[in-house]
Structures are given as structure tokens and as C-alpha cells.
């Protein structure tokens, strides 16, 4: 773990992880503020932030509640959005290990920690990157939500700050620089196109899962 | 009111427990089945494709509604920065800044 940490520090991955955690904290601020301005009590987004720890599904949960939907519907919609965590989990088993800690480690599985885990070159670095990013987000996400909730009670219109654009921007900043081959580009763009096309017809979360078909398109069109 | 809070708690716990099970399923499956190198390669690609799709749908949609021109513009600026491999912080902050600026100009 320690040697992994030193290597990560040397190749600047450590500072990227810190920045991603800070940015997620900012997204948390916007989510906390939006939830409170929508009329929810602060404990709702805060409990979600700690126990669910998966931003997109929490936005959706709170959004459905704010629109007057039932909490059970909101939970089901949130679970649909989180289906992608299952395929993510297939690629990080090694980083989690197999001891009792791995059951806690599962909770740290999210978009960001998975990207950092799969993009490192050695097993030790992958493991360290996964845990650091996961723990950092476990800390920063609820903290951001709390601050946002407090701020949201003071500021009238939080959309003014443009914080809602942060979440997609973070994901793009993580993924786009790694897209190199024509095959990857075909896969990502066709996958995203499928998602957009399906969005008016399917329940939230499912269209994103559909994007996986893009991987097969990329493979078919650019087979070696 | 008491009833509402109970239902809300049930909803939160349902989402939390279900999400945890989804997270647990991947590692458990890959512990019991051995996946080939080619399959792992496909998995890594799938991660990128899924994340990109989630980013694109979060750019255009807020729940089932169009998120508005301002956010789409802001994220487009960030996408350009990411494409140019600018530092992470620049990319991410450019999205919020660009979105805030066009909203200031009256674009929703």
C-alpha cells in the first residue's frame, strides 16, 4: 500500500485523486443546496450521501421526491441508475481483496474510484488508487452536501453558480483523455447516442446501461 | 407527517441496501467465475462507455426533462478542455463558469 502511494505521488496520480475528491465535494455542495431549496430537510440528502454514496442516484431520488413522487418509486429509480455498479465491480475485485475489509471496500465503488483503479499500471498502484479515491469521496461527498445544505438555506437560486454542470464535466474529464483508438471512440460515441435516443422511452438509468451495446459495435467495426 | 417520515426512511434504506448489493455482486461474481484477459479488456472498455453515456445523459437531461441550453453549453466547454487534455481542475471549473456566465446573460 505504501509503495503504491509513493509511486502514485511520483506520477501525479495522487494530486488528480485529491482534485477529483474536491470537485466531488463541490458537486455535493450543489446537490445539498438544491435538495434544501426543493423543500427537503438536510438529514435526507445527508443520510443518502453517507449510506448510498452514489451521486447520480441520489440526485434522482431527491428530484422525484421534490416533484411529489413516492419515496419507494424514488428508490427504485435510483437503483436503476446504480445498475452500472455491477459491471464496475467485475473489474475491481483484485483491488478489493478478499478479507472482511473488502465488504467495506465495496461501498467505495463508484464512477471515480473505478476509473482510477483501472487506469494504473501495477496491482499495488491500482489498489492504493482505488482505496484513496474511494475514502476521499466518502469524506468529501457528505461534507459537501452538508455545506450545500447550509448554503442553500441562505442563497435563493443556486442554479446561478452553474454547479449542476460539474457532475457531467467530472466524468468527461476522467474519461475523454483516455479515449485513443478508433475502436474506443466508436464504442463511446455510439453508446452515448443509444443512451440519448432511448432516454424519452425508458425509465431513468436504463438508457445508460444500454450504452454497453456500443462496446460490441466498436469491437465489430474495428476488429483486429 | 409521522407516516411520511417512515415511508421516506424506508425509501432511503431501500436505495442504500439495494445499491450495496449491486456493488457487492460484481466482486462476488468475479471471485467465483474466472474471466479471460480479453473479457477483462472488454470490461475496461465498458467502464469508459458507461461513464461517457452517464455524462452525456446528465448533460442533456434533468430527470426526464431537457436540462437547458446553459448546462449543455457549459459541459461542451468542459468536453473541449478534456479533449485538449487541459488540467482536471481547469476542465471541471470551466463547466461551472461557462454555465454560470450564460445564465447571467439570461440563457436558461
Where is pLDDT greater, at B50 or A109? A109
Q: Tell me the sheet residues that pair with B66.
A: B61
pLDDT tier at A207, thresholds 50, 70, 90: confident
Q: Residues of chain B with pLDDT > 70: what percent?
A: 96
**Residue B75 has what pLDDT?**
96
Instruction: Report pLDDT digits (tens) over A50-71.
Output: 999 998 889 888 877 877 778 9
Helices (H) and strands (E) in chain B, counts: 4, 2
Interface of A with B in 16-75 (CB under 8 A): 16, 19-20, 23, 26, 44, 47-48, 51-54, 56-57, 60-61, 63-65, 67, 70-72, 74-75
For the segment B60-89, the average pLDDT, to the nearest whole number, is 90
What are the strands, taking DSSP E only, across B1-108?
61-62, 65-66
pLDDT tier at A132, thresholds 50, 70, 90: very high
Where is pLDDT greater, at A46 or B46? A46
The C-alpha cell of A162 is what? 452553474
pLDDT exceeds 70 at position A182: yes
Determine, for residues B35 and A90 on separate chains, whether the beta-carbon distance falls below 8 Å: yes
Contacts of residue B9, Cβ cutoff 8 Å, sequence gap at least 6: none
pTM of full prediction above 0.90: no
Q: Is A211 an interface residue toward B (CB < 8 Å)?
A: yes
Tell me the C-alpha distance between A90 and A93, whole Å.
6
pLDDT exceeds 90 at position B63: no
pLDDT tier at A20, thresholds 50, 70, 90: very high
- What count of CB pairs under 8 Å joins A to B? 274
**Residue B1 has what pLDDT?**
47
Task: Specify whether the CB–CB gap between A142 and B85 falls below 8 A.
Answer: no
The CA-atom distances, in angstroms, between B19 and each of A11, A29, A55, A77, A81 are 33, 22, 12, 11, 9
How many residues are present in chain A?
A: 224
The CA-atom distances, in angstroms, between A192 and each of A166, A175, A210, B45, B50 are 18, 13, 9, 13, 8
Q: Is A103 an interface residue toward B (CB < 8 Å)?
A: yes
Amino acid at each position: 500500500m505504501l509503495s503504491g502511494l509513493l509511486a502514485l505521488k511520483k506520477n501525479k496520480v495522487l494530486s488528480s485523486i485529491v482534485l477529483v475528491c474536491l470537485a466531488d465535494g463541490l458537486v455535493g455542495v450543489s446537490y445539498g443546496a438544491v435538495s434544501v431549496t426543493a423543500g427537503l430537510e438536510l438529514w435526507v440528502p445527508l443520510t443518502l450521501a453517507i449510506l448510498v454514496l452514489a451521486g447520480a442516484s441520489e440526485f434522482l431520488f431527491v428530484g422525484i421526491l421534490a416533484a411529489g413522487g413516492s419515496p419507494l418509486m424514488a428508490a427504485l429509480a435510483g437503483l436503476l441508475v446504480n445498475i452500472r455498479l455491477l459491471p464496475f465491480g467485475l473489474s475491481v475485485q483484485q483491488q478489493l481483496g478478499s478479507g472482511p475489509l473488502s465488504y467495506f471496500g465495496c461501498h467505495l465503488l463508484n464512477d471515480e474510484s473505478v476509473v482510477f483503479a483501472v487506469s494504473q499500471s501495477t496491482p499495488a498502484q491500482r489498489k492504493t488508487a482505488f482505496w484513496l479515491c474511494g475514502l476521499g469521496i466518502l469524506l468529501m461527498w457528505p461534507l459537501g452536501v452538508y455545506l450545500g445544505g447550509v448554503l442553500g438555506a441562505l442563497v435563493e437560486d443556486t442554479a446561478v453558480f452553474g454547479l449542476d454542470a460539474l457532475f457531467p464535466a467530472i466524468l468527461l474529464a476522467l474519461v475523454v483523455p483516455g479515449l485513443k483508438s478508433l475502436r474506443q471512440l466508436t464504442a463511446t460515441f455510439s453508446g452515448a447516442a443509444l443512451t440519448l435516443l432511448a432516454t424519452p422511452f425508458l425509465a431513468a438509468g436504463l438508457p445508460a446501461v444500454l450504452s454497453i451495446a456500443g462496446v460490441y459495435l466498436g469491437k465489430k467495426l474495428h476488429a483486429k | 407527517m409521522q407516516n411520511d417520515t417512515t415511508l421516506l426512511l424506508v425509501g432511503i434504506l431501500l436505495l442504500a441496501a439495494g445499491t450495496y448489493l449491486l456493488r457487492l455482486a460484481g466482486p462476488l461474481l468475479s471471485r467465483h467465475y474466472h474471466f479471460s484477459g480479453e473479457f477483462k479488456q472488454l470490461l475496461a472498455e465498458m467502464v469508459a462507455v458507461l461513464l461517457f453515456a452517464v455524462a452525456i445523459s446528465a448533460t442533456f437531461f434533468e430527470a426526464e426533462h431537457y436540462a437547458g441550453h446553459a448546462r449543455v453549453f457549459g459541459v461542451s466547454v468542459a468536453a473541449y478542455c478534456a479533449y485538449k487534455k487541459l488540467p482536471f481542475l481547469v476542465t471541471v471549473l470551466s463547466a461551472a463558469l461557462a454555465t454560470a456566465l450564460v445564465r447571467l446573460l439570461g440563457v436558461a
